[in-house]
Amino acid sequence: AQGDMVISLYNPRSKKRVTHLDEVREIVLKYRDPKTPVGIVQKAGRPGQQMVISDLENFTKEEVDMQTLVIIGNSQTYVENGRMITPRGYKL
């Protein structure tokens, strides 16, 4: 989280792993803006795929299960036309 890289979490919650996602959120919030975009994709690449964009402050309120991919943006990530965009490259 402190390194400001985009973070992807696959299969982040199950019947036994109910607190892990909240723990990740609390850790990342120490280093990132609460309004950082977070993408939530259920059944990625499969029939029934659904996508939602939330933010770091609220994303754990969305439905997240074993078939979910959560993508937490970095400080440069923004939302445009319903999609998350993270520019490539960096400044020296």
Verdict on whether the full-model pTM lies above 0.85:
yes
Q: How confident is the model at residue 90 (pLDDT cuts 50, 70, 90)?
A: low
Between CA 42 and CA 57 the distance in angstroms is 19
Each domain of the chain, given as residue ranges in start order, spans 7-85
Between CA 74 and CA 53 the distance in angstroms is 14
State yes or no: pLDDT of 89 exceeds 80: no
What local confidence, expressed as pLDDT, does residue 1 receive?
Answer: 86
State yes or no: pLDDT of 92 exceeds 90: no
Q: Let me know if 72 is exposed, middle or buried by CB neighbors in 10 A (0-12, 13-18, 19+).
A: buried
pLDDT in tens, 28-87: 999 999 999 999 999 999 999 999 999 999 998 878 989 999 999 999 999 999 999 999
The CATH homologous superfamily of the domain defined by 7-85: Tetrapyrrole methylase, C-terminal domain (3.30.950.10)
